[in-house]
Amino acid sequence: MQNNQHKFDTKALHAGIEPDEATGAIMTPIYQTSTYAQPSPGVNKGYEYSRTQNPTRHALEKNLSALENGKYGLAFGSGLAAIDACMRLLKRGEEVISTNDLYGGSYRLFTKVHEQYGLKFRFTGMQNTSDVEALINKNTKMIWVETPTNPTMNIIDIEAFAIVAKKHKLLLVVDNTFASPYLQNPLDMGADIVMHSVTKYIGGHSDVVMGFLALNDDEIRAKLAFIQNSVGAVCGPMDAFLAIRGIKTLHLRMQRHCENGAKVAHWLKAHPKVDKVYWPGFESHPNHEVAKKQMRDFGGMISFSLKGDKMENAFDLLSRLSVFTLAESLGGVESLAGHPATMTHAALPKTEREKNGVTDSLIRLSVGVEHINDLLSDLEQAMS
Ligand code: P1T
C-alpha cells in the first residue's frame, strides 16, 4: 500500500510495505543474503549486492521516508553513521554551524574526527537566528540543528533556520531523534535533511542500533547513497526487519510516552528536592511557543537537577530507582534514567557541558510506557 496521503497511523503500518510477492507473507521477509543471482552480467532484479541494496532495508527506507514526508530515505548502521555521512557531503576547509547543546557523541564525531580532516565546527545556542548569521562566512555550508536538544530540552525554531539556510544557500540538517516523526516533521518546515537515531523511539524496543536520513533532493540523495555505499555504513536486514516491526506501534507508543512524560514532568516540578526541570511542555519553558508551533506534543524526555547540585545525590537517587533502569539510550518502551555528565555527555569538557546546563546533579529520564503510578512511586521512593 503506497498511498502517502494516508494519516500517520496508517502510514506507520502500511507505507512502503507490500505482501511478499513470492508467498504473500504479510511481514516483510528478512532477506538475509549478501548477494543475488544474475541471469547474465548486468541483468538483475534491482539487487546486486547487499551493501548497495537489500529488499528488507529498502522496505524500511520507503516506510520511514513516508513518515517524514520525504521522497527518499537511507538506513545506516547507527545514528552516528548517518551523521557521519552528512559530514562527508562537505570538503576540507568548509564549515558547519551547530547547536552547542547536542548529543555528546555527535560533538565527539565533529570535533575529534571531522576536524582532523579539515572541517570546522562553530557551536552556538541557536536561540536567535542573528547569533547564527553572525557566524556565517564564505566557507559555511551547513547548519546542524538538534531539537529538542539532548539533554536540556532546548527547542530550536526549524522554520526560522530554514529561512536563514535558504538565504545563505546552506544545507539545513535536523536531528529529529528526540521528537520522532510522530511529533515533528522537519522537511515540512524547510529542512533539507532529517536525521534519526532509529535506535531510540523509532525502533522503540531497545533491540536495534540504527540511523536514518530522509530527504527530498535528488542530487543530495545520489551523493549520500554514493557515500553510504562507498563507506559501507549500512544496517543489516535483521535490524531493518526489527525497525519495521517497531514502527508499526510508533504512534501508540508515542501517545503513552507523551502522556506519562507530562505527568512525570509536573510531578518533578512540584517536588521540594528538585531544582530545575527541563521539558518543553511547561508554559515557563523559554521556547514553549516554538515547541507548540513545530511539535504535535512534548514527548517523554525530561531532565532535572537537584537542589544543591551534588553529584553524589544524583548517584544515590539513580542507584535507588527500580522501575527506571540506569542506562544509556532512550526512546524504548521501558523507562530509563541517565546521568549525562558521566554518561552520554562525558565527551564534552566540563566547562562546555556546564555552560549548557549539564551540571553534576542533572538526571535525564526517558519516560517509558509503564503505568504512571508505578513510575511516580519509583521516583518518590528514590527521592526520599
Ligand atoms: O547511538 P546512535 O544510534 O549512533 O545515535 C547517536 C545519536 C544521535 N543523535 C541523538 C540526539 C542521540 O541521542 C544519539 C544517541 N544518544 C544516546 C545514546 C543517548 O543516550 O543520548
Cα–Cα distance list, 224 to 86, 139, 217, 230 (Å): 7, 21, 11, 10
Left, alpha or beta for 141 (phi > 0: left; psi -120 to 50: alpha)? Answer: alpha
| 344 close to 152: Cβ distance less than 8 angstroms | no
* 103 close to ligand 1 (CB < 6 Angstrom): yes
Domains of the chain: 8-247 (3.40.640.10), 251-383 (3.90.1150.10)
**148 C-alpha to ligand 1 centroid (Å):** 13
* 146 close to ligand 1 (CB < 6 Angstrom): yes
In what order do the strands lie in the sheet containing 120-124? 72-76, 211-215, 193-197, 171-175, 140-146, 95-99, 120-124
pLDDT at 144: 98
Q: Which residue has the cell 536525521?
A: 195
pLDDT at 347: 82
What backbone torsions phi and psi does residue 360 show, to the nearest 5 degrees? Answer: -60, -35
* 279 close to ligand 1 (CB < 6 Angstrom): no
Going by C-alpha positions, the residue among 190, 189, 182, 174 that lies closest to residue 106 is: 174
Stretches where the chain sits below pLDDT 50 are none
Reported as a single tens digit per residue, the pLDDT across 136-189 is 999 999 999 999 999 999 999 999 999 999 999 999 999 999 999 999 999 999
Reported as a single tens digit per residue, the pLDDT across 205-233 is 999 999 999 999 999 999 999 999 999 99
Cα–Cα distance list, 133 to 122, 138, 155, 173, 309 (Å): 12, 12, 18, 16, 35
Residue type at 326 in one-letter notation? L
**Residue 4 CB: number of other CB atoms within 10 A?**
15
Going by C-alpha positions, the residue among 358, 328, 315, 294 that lies closest to residue 102 is: 358
Which cell numbers in the block locate residue 134? Answer: 553572525
Reduce the secondary structure of 86-105 to three states and give it as a string: HHCCCCCCCEEEEECCCCHH
* 78 close to ligand 1 (CB < 6 Angstrom): yes
Give the number of the atom of ligand 1 that is nearest the alpha carbon of residue 211. Answer: 3
Q: What is the DSSP letter of 309?
A: -
Q: Whose CA is nearest to atom 20 of ligand 1?
A: 329
pLDDT at 282: 98
User: Residue 258: is it exposed, middle or buried by C-beta count within 10 angstroms (0-12/13-18/19+)?
Assistant: buried
pLDDT at 350: 87
Where in the sequence numbering do the catalytic residues fall? 51, 103, 175, 200
